[in-house]
Amino acid sequence: MSSFSGEFIKRPVVDVNGELFGHLGEIVIDPRSGEISEILVEVIPEIDVSKLPWPMNDGLCCVPAQEVAKIGSSISLKR
């Protein structure tokens, strides 16, 4: 993991209403384009992951980069 992505690991990930969805576990970069392809989120236990629109992989929710609205002190999702 590069130091760039390391700065963001464990930052809160919030939904469109500003409610906590989880914490950033990893950033996935497309090796061909160099762009972020998805973020992997450690979802909080209160959320039923079976109802999420994104797949789970090894306990992390795979959220496509297109679903990210903003990255700052927290990571905001579009929904």
Owning domain of residue 49: 3-77
Per-residue pLDDT tens digits for 17-70:
999 999 999 999 999 999 999 999 999 999 999 999 999 999 999 999 999 999
In the chain, the number of structural domains is: 1
Q: Which amino acid is at 68?
A: V
**Pick from 58, 77, 70, 64: nearest CA to 20:** 77
CATH of the domain at 66: 2.30.30.240
**CA-based radius of gyration for the chain:** 12
Question: Phi and psi at residue 14, in whole multiples of 5°?
Answer: -120, 155
Is pTM beyond 0.75? Reply is: yes
Q: What does the pLDDT read at residue 18?
A: 97
- Examine the pLDDT at 6 and tell me if it is beyond 80: no
State the Cα angle at 37 between 31 and 41, rounded to 5°: 125
